Amino acid sequence: MKTLLKQHFKTFFNSYSEIFFLQSPVAGVLLFLVTLTNINVGIAGVVSVVAAYLFARLIGMRQAFLSSGFFTYNALLVGLSIGYLFALEPLSLFFIVTAGIFTFMLSIMTNSIFSYYLKLPILSLPFVIVSSIAYLASYNYSNLYVTGLYPHGETIGETISLPFWLDGFFISLGAILFSPNSLAGLLFALVILFFSRILFLLAILGFYLGATISGLMEGAMISAFMQINNFNFILIAMALGGVYLVPAPKSYLIAAIAVAIATMLLDAINLFWANYGIPAFTLPFNFITLTFIYVLALVGFPLVAETVLRTPEDTLDEYISNVSRFRGNFRKLSLPFSGKWTVWQGFDGAWTHQGRWKYAYDFVITKAGKTYKNDGKFLEEYYAYQKPVFSPCRGQIISIVSNLPDNLPGIVDKTNNWGNLIIIDTTLGYFVELSHFAQNTIRVKQGQWIEVGTQLGLCGNSGYSPQPHIHVQVQATAQIGAETLPFSFHGYLENNLFISNDLPKNKTTIEPLHPNRDLEFKTTFILDQRFTYEAFQGEQLVRTVTLSVCMAAGGETYFDSGKAKLFFAKDAHSFYFYRLEGNDPWLSLLFAALPRMPLVYHQDMTWEDMPPVSAVAFGWRKHFLNLARAFYHHIGKIHYSAHWESNRIITGTLQNGGKILPVKLELDNKLGFSLVRLGERCLCKKEVL
């Protein structure tokens, strides 16, 4: 019962924090209390959220989808907007309840359409639509106007003596939750500052830039600064500068441009909407922000946030870490050979990988820097000739050419560029072509389904190929010679360094790796398993830590300590942690000591990683680093290096600024980790319940 009540309160208060792009029930509590400075508006918001939430429960919506407050914050805004217009009495309460439920339904519908077809958030568009409808409809409700028209002026501490340029900022900030007064705005500003320094600075940027441009255009600076609708500038700057774009100077510039454009749109909407006696609400914010997000995603702008986390600081931390940790493409291929081969030509190669066919790789075998023995006059003298070629992916064989003769060294077939080839349909929306097979050596048949590692044929020198090599490319369609697409290789060794997913450089010698089943079993965690550790600081026992294996609503798995969640996943060649939510130094220890573990044991193999700041920094240092990195991403990078000491023991170092900490991890005989040590801190003596 206590847990269920906690979930209900979390949903309610998250509805408030979502409006300021903060996913925090604590922030929601503070914002809720501020709305009560105008008791009529505050209670109207409560009624609307509760009505929407109860209706969601009535129709069977799961708590997991409601807990974030995402589907109820628009209903909250609608309730606040009606409470700002009408006093609480039976008719207005009925109006608020019906409008809140309608907003909730519209939020569900628009989110489904926007997320599936446009890949866009709904922002506060449902609020704009329903509040506009409610305000227009209310003109026909003469009885509601007579009994419920709200007389403004009952706000607690409505006025604070401030300069116009500061007063306007606080009033605009307060207006976001329909409390357009200096006190409410000041309190909102303090809440935002406490939970996100980046959002606070963006709020300042948006307001002062937008108000200044409006003042210059109108020739009345004081009047421009005191416009309540300036909150649209604040929301635009926050959304584009730090929420839907990763915080960075380029994001701030885009946010500033969007705010400048919004000044024109806001004035136009205000003039048009005035004819109907309704405010613009957040329509300028929604229109400008959605337009920018859509266009930036369409052109592949690199700072579009793939995942929006609790605060811009969290999003930034994960982005900086992931840029280094997950370099490859989602079109991942295994290497199509065994043993050590050398990259002869990669993307945008000097010879044939150009234009529409630039995304391709060529591999040869080299010894002492040469690809052949003797004089290289005969095909048999080339180390790659007649070597097995394996499938780099699973799928269905849809095209085969196998009867073309091999060229003599130095001679190419300009008529049949691709030579003997195989095209594989991966069923993932792209195709893989391998070319230049030796004549009549292809072993698979058209229509055959194959797995990764299936032998396809032997390396040859057919087509436009001056020496035997393996050519591999990913393409958009099934046609021979189709336009190529970016891809990457995963699970390979480069100078004894394990590479999870990347693109090897020209002249680099690499070797494919194959997962170890024992390591796969040791990292196969099942839901509801619990692991108990004793946590030590030096020799002193600090506490007992119990980790439970859980699953989030989106299917992600994580360790839950009760204080924080550490998300983990596996790919074909490694187990890794990728996100820490909450504050637990012992989950942080696990993340920092083992951000990634290859599922391959290879003697002398090393690997590197860069865990996020959240895994190693706490308190003021963490906040300072995140704020500094909002302007320069390379500040405070963390370097992790490890190697197999044995098939059960991993040792390495974690370099955090000028501090280097030793790392040691021991795998359990059956499942998981029996010891995790980072510096003087240690988790040990695991038991499985």
pLDDT digit string (tens) for 334-375? 999 999 999 999 998 888 888 889 999 999 999 998 999 998
Q: How confident is the model at residue 154 (pLDDT cuts 50, 70, 90)?
A: very low
CA distance 393 to 572: 12
Q: Does the structure show a pLDDT above 80 at 62?
A: no
CA distance 21 to 309: 9
Per-residue pLDDT reduced to its tens digit, 606-634: 999 999 888 887 777 788 888 999 999 98
Q: Are 561 and 555 in contact (CB under 8 A)?
A: no
Contacts of 19 (CB under 8 A, 6+ apart): 31, 73, 76, 77, 124, 176, 177
Residue 525 lies in a domain: yes
Q: How confident is the model at residue 686 (pLDDT cuts 50, 70, 90)?
A: low
Q: How confident is the model at residue 6 (pLDDT cuts 50, 70, 90)?
A: confident
Q: How many CA atoms within 13 Å lie on the side-chain side of 659? A: 8
Residue 529 lies in a domain: yes
| CATH classification at residue 441 | 2.70.70.10
Statement to judge: residues 384 and 273 lie in one domain: no
Statement to judge: residues 148 and 166 lie in one domain: no
Whose CA is closest to 628, among 618, 637, 616, 615? Answer: 637
Task: Report the 10 Å Cβ neighbour count for 94.
Answer: 11
| CATH classification at residue 262 | 1.10.3430.10
Residue 491 lies in a domain: no
Q: How confident is the model at residue 158 (pLDDT cuts 50, 70, 90)?
A: low
Q: How confident is the model at residue 689 (pLDDT cuts 50, 70, 90)?
A: very low
Q: Which of 247-251, 306-310, 438-442, 451-455 has the lowest mean pLDDT?
A: 306-310
Statement to judge: residues 523 and 669 lie in one domain: yes
Task: Report the 10 Å Cβ neighbour count for 238.
Answer: 27
Q: How many domains does the chain have?
A: 4
Residue 326 lies in a domain: no
CA distance 687 to 336: 41
Pick from 127, 154, 181: which residue ends a domain? 154
CA distance 57 to 45: 19
Q: What is the pLDDT of residue 634?
A: 87
CA distance 648 to 675: 11
Q: What is the pLDDT of residue 2?
A: 57
Statement to judge: residues 187 and 44 lie in one domain: no
Q: What would the mean pLDDT of 99-128 be, rounded to a whole number?
A: 95
Pick from 308, 343, 371: which residue ends a domain? 308
Statement to judge: residues 36 and 57 lie in one domain: yes
CA distance 592 to 585: 10
Q: How confident is the model at residue 426 (pLDDT cuts 50, 70, 90)?
A: very high
Q: What is the pLDDT of residue 119?
A: 92
Statement to judge: residues 164 and 150 lie in one domain: no
> How many angstroms separate the Cα of 115 from the Cα of each of 68, 185, 315?
17, 32, 20
CA distance 479 to 398: 10
Q: How confident is the model at residue 1 (pLDDT cuts 50, 70, 90)?
A: low
Statement to judge: residues 136 and 164 lie in one domain: no
Q: Are 420 and 460 in contact (CB under 8 A)?
A: yes
Statement to judge: residues 179 and 118 lie in one domain: no
CA distance 318 to 531: 26
Statement to judge: residues 586 and 683 lie in one domain: yes
CA distance 176 to 476: 46
Per-residue pLDDT reduced to its tens digit, 629-650: 999 998 888 899 999 999 899 9
Q: Give bridge partners of residue 473 from the DSSP assignment.
A: 360, 433
Residue 314 lies in a domain: no
3 state SS for 179-243: CCCHHHHHHHHHHHHHHCHHHHHHHHHHHHHHHHHHHHHHCCHHHHHCCHHHHHHHHHHHHHHHH
Pick from 154, 172, 195: which residue ends a domain? 154
Statement to judge: residues 16 and 134 lie in one domain: yes
Residue 319 lies in a domain: no
Instruction: Name the percent of the chain lying above pLDDT 90.
Output: 72
Residue 317 lies in a domain: no
Q: What is the pLDDT of residue 160?
A: 65
Mean pLDDT, rounded, of the chain: 91
Statement to judge: residues 260 and 181 lie in one domain: yes
Q: What is the pLDDT of residue 569?
A: 94
Residue 654 lies in a domain: yes
Q: Does the structure show a pLDDT above 50 at 688?
A: no
Q: Give bridge partners of residue 381 from the DSSP assignment.
A: none
Q: What is the pLDDT of residue 42?
A: 93
Structural domain including 38 reads 1-154
Q: Give bridge partners of residue 17 from the DSSP assignment.
A: none
Statement to judge: residues 261 and 120 lie in one domain: no
Output the pTM of the full model. Answer: 0.86
Residue 261 falls in which region: left (phi positive, over 0), alpha (psi -120 to 50) or beta: alpha
